[in-house]
Amino acid sequence: MKRILLLGGVTEALAIARTLGPEHLYSLAGVGRVPTDLTCQVRVGGYGGAEGLAQFIRDEGIDLLLDATHPYAAQISQNAATAAQVTGITCWALRRPAWQPQPGDDWREVGDWAELIESLKPFRRPLFTLGREPLQHLHEIPPEQFWTLRALDVYPGNERCEIIGARGPFLLEDERELFERRQIDVLISKNSGSTATEPKLDVARERGVPVIVLRRPELPAVDREFGSVTDVLTALIPEPPQNL
Ligand code: NAP
């Protein structure tokens, strides 16, 4: 029987974790909620880089590393690929397909924070949905802009920025109300590909609001890539014996 180390932190990873028996491990960085109702073991916290992860794989007798982390969590994905390689075990990855622009969308892709700030210049009331990164830049907000920043938790803002703490899934009606009440004129987003956060894109399209999209990071090659939880679960079910 293979022993699986599942690297998670997103909804799909939790869905896979719910199907795993007690010999398997579900691994979380410790930034979000930790489930307490799983049959598999739950491990919280980093490993100390690829070397630490490789040591853990050896110590725990892991046979299969399954990377089901967020598409922008590039460091842990790289560590996973490296650790699997040096320990000689198989590495699979669940890679959520990216959102694709629809007719009527005005998407502008940027590669980093400097490009993002440049692309924001024509706008006055941006809505940031990138996580915590903008928190480091609150003192740089130009006087003509007022930022709305949505993150998992509430943080203090300032006179040029209000911070909303909220966790998805987000409803279309609530997103409409948010854009209207705050008169959002540009949305900033990662391309997470998650259905839980997609309604903001629908509202941007409805209102003709441009979307500044932070480009997805490069992720390492693995032994096998999957696009959905179902595909992963199908691959995890052992083949029936041929002679039955
Ligand atoms: P990251 O930059 O790729 O990883 C930073 C470090 O956090 C890793 O080097 C590792 O520490 C530790 N780590 C990350 N995921 C881990 C896991 N599943 N189990 C154990 N340790 C883990 O990741 P991030 O962007 O900070 O995201 C952290 C976690 O939040 C990820 O698990 C991801 O799935 C989840 N998440 C991220 C985003 C996002 O936008 N980035 C959004 C939603 C959820 P060591 O080097 O010490 O092992």
Concatenate the DSSP letters of all residues of 100-121 into one string: -PPTT--EEEESSHHHHHHHTT
Say yes or no to pLDDT of 194 above 90: yes
Q: How far is the CA of 31 from the centre of ligand 1 (A)?
A: 8
Answer yes or no: is pLDDT of 244 > 60. Answer: no
Q: Are 20 and 2 in contact (CB under 8 A)?
A: no
- With a Cβ cut-off of 6 Å, ligand 1 is lined by 7-10, 27-29, 31, 46-49, 52-53, 69-70, 72-76, 79, 131, 190
Q: How confident is the model at residue 130 (pLDDT cuts 50, 70, 90)?
A: very high
Residue 112 pLDDT > 60: yes
Q: Does domain 4-96+217-236 have CATH number 3.40.50.720?
A: yes
Distance 81 CA to ligand 1 centre (A): 14
Q: How confident is the model at residue 32 (pLDDT cuts 50, 70, 90)?
A: confident
Q: What is the pLDDT of residue 48?
A: 98
Nearest CA to ligand 1 atom 42: 70
Q: Contact, 229 vs 18, CB < 8 A?
A: no
CATH class of 107-214: alpha beta
**This model's pTM is above 0.85:** yes
CA distance readout (Å), 79 to 22, 73, 75, 93: 25, 11, 6, 12
Q: What is the mean pLDDT of residues 47-64?
A: 98
> Ligand 1 center to residue 73 CA distance, Å?
5
**Mean local confidence (pLDDT), 38-66:** 98
From the CA of 190, give the closest atom in ligand 1: 40
Would you say the C-alpha torsion 194, 196, 197, 199 has a positive or negative sign? positive
Q: What is the pLDDT of residue 242?
A: 64
Of all residues in the chain, the percent with pLDDT exceeding 70 is 97
CA distance 199 to 9: 21
Asked if pLDDT for residue 163 goes beyond 80, the answer is: yes
pLDDT of residue 201: 98
Taking the C-alpha atoms of residue 224 and residue 232, their distance in angstroms, rounded to an integer, is 10
| Closest Cα to atom 26 of ligand 1 | 73
Tell me how far the alpha carbon of residue 171 is from its chain's centroid.
18
Residue type, 138: L
Ligand 1 atom having least distance to the Cα of 49? 46
Q: Which contiguous run of DSSP H or E holds residue 13?
A: helix 11-17
* Reported confidence tier of residue 145, pLDDT bands at 50, 70, 90: very high
Using CB atoms within 10 Å of the CB of residue 105, give its burial: 0 to 12 exposed, 13 to 18 middle, 19+ buried.
Answer: middle
Question: Do 4-96+217-236 and 107-214 show the same overall fold?
Answer: yes
Phi-psi region of 167 (alpha: psi -120 to 50; beta: other; left: phi over 0): beta
pLDDT at 1 over 70: no
Residue type at 134 in one-letter notation: P
Mean pLDDT of all residues in 206-220: 98
Q: What pLDDT does 27 receive?
A: 98
Q: Stretch 33-50: mean pLDDT, rounded?
A: 97
* Residue of 55, 178, 91 lying closest to 128 (CA atoms): 178
Please check the confidence at residue 81 and state whether its pLDDT lies above 80. yes
The pLDDT of residue 237 is 85
The pLDDT value recorded for residue 88 is: 98
The full set of domain ranges for the chain reads 4-96+217-236, 107-214
Which two three-digit tokens encode residue 54? 């490789």
State the residue for tokens 């003192």: 139
